[in-house]
Amino acid sequence: MAQQNNPVLPRGVTQATFEKALEAFRALLGEENVLAQPSQLTPYSKVMMSVENDAHAPSAALTVSSVEQVQGVVRICNEHKIPIWPISTGRNFGYGSAAPVQRGQVILDLKKMNRILKVDPDMCYALVEPGVTYQQLYDYIEENNLPLMLSFPAPSAIASPLGNIMDRGVGYTPYGEHFMMQCGMEVVLANGDIYRTGMGGVKGSNTWQIFKWGFGPTLDGMFTQANYGIVTKIGFWLMPKPPVFKPFEVIFENEEDIVDIVEMLRPLRISGTIPNSVVIANVLWEAGSANVRRQTYTTESGHTPDEILKKIQRDTGMGAWNLYAALYGTQEQVDADWKIVSEAFKRLGKGRIVTQEEAGDKQPFKYRAQLMSGVPNLQEFGLYNWRGGGGSMWFAPVSEARGSECEKQARLAKRILHKHGLDYVAEFIVGPRDMHHVVDVLFDRTNPEETARADACFNELLDEFEKEGYAVYRVNTRFQERVARSYGTVKRDVEHAIKRALDPNNILAPGRSGIDLHTYNKV
Ligand SMILES: Cc1cc2nc3c(=O)[nH]c(=O)nc-3n(C[C@H](O)[C@H](O)[C@H](O)COP(=O)(O)OP(=O)(O)OC[C@H]3O[C@@H](n4cnc5c(N)ncnc54)[C@H](O)[C@@H]3O)c2cc1C
């Protein structure tokens, strides 16, 4: 098929070289798997960040079906110095979606590699390819009546375990720290070698998904939020389905309650009495998720005033903070834990407990309970109806699980967002010792003035939090270089030394997490 001249080119690559590379990709993958027409690239081009889609436009996208094809692609990329951006299902909404970190990179779309390679119900693990979705795995488990439970992020149905683990994402069950539950990966390196982590290099081993550490250096983490390889298989542990699951919510009236909530919760999390990743969502997160539309409450373009927040609380019964957690186990275990947990809440003297029986099918309780019990849904996308206009960037600083720290972060974030006329839509996801403080910076991307405000706001959030010693655990592609700087030069030097050793032609996702041989030391 005659190729129209594509205005988007990879950095430093001429049109003629790019055409040669495309020819080689077509010979390897077939015409239909090399997408270079603007209309074919539309699904890969839409971002939700505070810049034009054009800033992150891909030059082409390749769809591959096998590890051998991935090896063939890196060979061609090395020959023509073509940068590629691997995605699994490409649903990294609010962190860059499917689009590459730098304009002109070629997307390597792995979603056709979607085989569930193994689910072991005795050892409780799965081994999957990049394109496997959580829904696919959930259906497999249900159809085969396996006593296993999944943990996934809120866009569960359409996202992938491999992609989520690559970005060190989180879920809501006791297995909610997803990278912690990862065990064994297969990686195509930039030189085309296939590297297996952990026990995976041992011929005939049956412990690749059983024992993480293998022998010598353990390198799995090096491939997450990074650009040192293309992961083509991933293993992860699955939780045995408990006989009893008891979700509950506790509704708190006042913003200041966050201090007492976290202090009360931490010992219960560290001891494992509450085993799952607890969520403490603020009123606007609740309202958005339950599809309460902002227009119902205010038509002003700035942030939602506090009196309106109180009115939403009165009208809907939502709290200023809404805590969701669950207990898992046999009836005896759950009864014993419930006694400890409910008495701790009673001693606190604030907060209204809501159980499954009381909540019935009400949202957002229903979808929260589903997430905590491994049932996929897409309810949280309702957040985008709160403001409208499709702009969303997650600001996700890590906090100590200490009440005073969480309050300090909440106040700081709210002040900065309000200064820029935006809402504080936030939740804390409670690990035993840390909190992922996740703020959805929502804005109307169809409005250039508001988009510019969101951009300035995000920069100020990063700057002001850094002054207090806080940094984010993950960020969208527009701000990855900026965030890399918060973590110091020694770390960056090491990362670039590894990049030079493993990928001297800088073909794998240059710019990912600020790692780019072309620009580093030039800034
Ligand atoms: C309403 C809403 C709620 C959300 N809630 C959550 C949540 O609860 N928890 C959470 O973690 N996220 C959440 N997200 C963010 C995001 O949607 C999920 O993390 C999602 O799982 C990521 O998309 P994906 O699985 O398709 O991964 P992908 O987009 O395919 O991959 C993510 C990134 O990993 C890298 N990558 C992917 N595949 C490979 C590979 N094979 N080799 C090397 N690198 C690779 C790429 O850099 C890619 O950008 C939410 C988003 C929305 C809109």
For residue 31, being part of any structural domain is answered with yes
* Residue 339 confidence (pLDDT): 98
Whether 31 and 84 map to the same domain: the answer is: yes
Looking at residue 2, its pLDDT comes to 40
**pLDDT value at residue 3:** 44
Q: Which two tokens stand for residue 326?
A: 């669950």
Q: What is the CATH number of the domain that holds 293?
A: 3.40.462.10
Residue 482 falls inside a structural domain: no
Look up the domain containing 170 and give its range: 116-240
Same domain, 160 and 86: no
* Shared domain check, 25 and 104: yes
Catalytic residue among 109, 220, 249, 380: 380
* Residue 519 is assigned to a structural domain of this protein: no
Pocket test for ligand 1, best of 92, 189, 445 (most atoms within 8 A of CB): 92
Q: Indicate whether 1 pLDDT > 80.
A: no
C-alpha 252 to ligand 1 mean position (Å): 31
Report whether the peptide linkage leading into residue 364 is cis, meaning its omega lies within 30 degrees of zero. yes
The answer on 184 and 303 residing in a single domain is no
- Residue 26 bears catalytic tag: no
337 lies in the same domain as 402 = yes
Ligand 1 centroid–CA 163 distance in Å is 5
- More confident of the two residues 183 and 430: 183
Dist CA 496 CA 489 (whole Å): 10
Query: Is 523 part of any domain?
Result: no
Give residue 11's identity as a one-letter amino acid code.
R
Active site residue 474: yes
Test site for ligand 1: of 65, 71, 91, 277, most ligand atoms within 8 A of the Cβ: 91
Q: Kindly state whether residues 205 and 290 are assigned to the same domain.
A: no
With a cut of 60, say whether residue 194 has pLDDT above it.
yes
Same domain, 300 and 405: yes
User: Which protein residue's CA is at the shortest distance from atom 4 of ligand 1?
Assistant: 154
User: Hey, whose CA ends up nearest to atom 13 of ligand 1?
Assistant: 153
- For ligand 1, what atom is nearest to the CA of residue 232? 41
Is the same domain home to 367 and 462? Answer: yes
Which residue, judged by its Cα, is nearest atom 7 of ligand 1?
153
Return the pLDDT at 372: 98
Same domain membership, residue 57 and residue 178: no
* Active-site residue (options: 56, 436, 437, 445): 436
Q: Which among 79, 109, 139 is the end of a domain?
A: 109
Best residue for ligand 1 mutational test, from 158, 165, 167, 385 (most atoms within 8 Å of Cβ): 167
pLDDT of residue 376: 95
Instruction: Please write the tens of the pLDDT for every residue from 330-365.
Output: 999 999 999 999 999 999 999 999 999 999 999 999
Is 133 inside any structural domain?
A: yes
pLDDT in tens, 383-428: 998 989 999 999 999 999 999 999 999 999 999 999 999 999 999 9
Q: What is the mean pLDDT of residues 470-497?
A: 97
464 assigned to active site: no
Q: Is residue 145 domain-shared with residue 52, that is, in the same domain?
A: no
176 lines ligand 1 (CB under 6 A): no
In angstroms, the CA 6 to CA 459 distance is 33
pLDDT at 517: 97
Pocket of ligand 1 contains residue 442 by CB under 6 Å? no
Residue at which a domain ends, from 91, 109, 127: 109
Selected catalytic residue, list 384, 424, 470, 520: 384
Provide the pLDDT for residue 300. Answer: 73
Ligand 1 centroid distance, CA of 72 (Å): 25
CB distance 92 to ligand 1 below 6 Å = yes
CB atoms within 10 A of CB 476: 28
pLDDT number for residue 4: 47
Last residue in a domain, options 240, 270, 298:
240
Measure 243 CA to ligand 1 centroid, in angstroms: 30
pLDDT of residue 496: 98
Domain tally, the chain: 4
Is 130's C-beta closer than 6 angstroms to any atom of ligand 1? yes
Residue 523: predicted pLDDT: 53
362 in any annotated domain: yes
* Residue 380 is a catalytic residue: yes
167 carries an active-site annotation: yes
Q: Whose CA is nearest to atom 29 of ligand 1?
A: 90
Same domain, 87 and 197: no
Q: How far apart are CA 26 and CA 67, in angstroms?
A: 17
DSSP 472: B
Per-residue pLDDT tens digits for 65-114: 999 999 999 999 999 999 999 999 999 999 999 999 999 999 999 999 99
**Which tens digit of pLDDT belongs to each residue from 114-157?**
999 999 999 999 999 999 999 999 999 999 999 999 999 999 88
Q: Calculate ∠ Cα 275-280-285, nearest 5°.
A: 135
Mean pLDDT confidence for 366-380: 96
Pocket mutation for ligand 1, best pick of 166, 223, 291 (most atoms within 8 Å of C-beta): 166
With residue 406 as reference, give the H or E element that holds it.
helix 403-419
User: Could you tell me if residue 29 is inside a domain?
Assistant: yes
Cα 276 to ligand 1 centre (Å): 20
- In this prediction, residue 521 carries a pLDDT of 80
**Domain CATH code at residue 233:** 3.30.465.10
Please give the pLDDT value at position 522.
Answer: 65
CATH of the domain at 58: 3.30.43.10
Instruction: Give domain status of residue 76, yes or no.
Output: yes
Starting at the edge strand found earlier in the chain, the sheet holding 125-128 runs: 116-120, 125-128, 230-237, 182-188, 194-196
Catalytic residue, from 109, 177, 423, 503: name it.
177
pLDDT tens digits for range 229-256: 999 999 999 999 999 999 999 999 999 9
* Average model confidence (pLDDT) across the chain: 96
pTM strictly above 0.85? yes
Q: Which atom number of ligand 1 is nearest to the Cα of residue 161?
A: 25
Same domain, 277 and 356: yes
Reported as a single tens digit per residue, the pLDDT across 264-314 is: 999 999 999 999 999 999 999 999 998 888 888 876 779 999 999 999 999
The pLDDT value given to residue 333: 97
Quickly count: other Cβ atoms within 10 Å of residue 88's Cβ.
30
Q: Is the pLDDT of residue 434 over 60?
A: yes
Atom of ligand 1 nearest to the CA of 169: 11
**Beta pairing, strands 244-252 & 352-355:** antiparallel
Q: pLDDT digits over 160-172, tens only?
A: 999 999 999 999 9
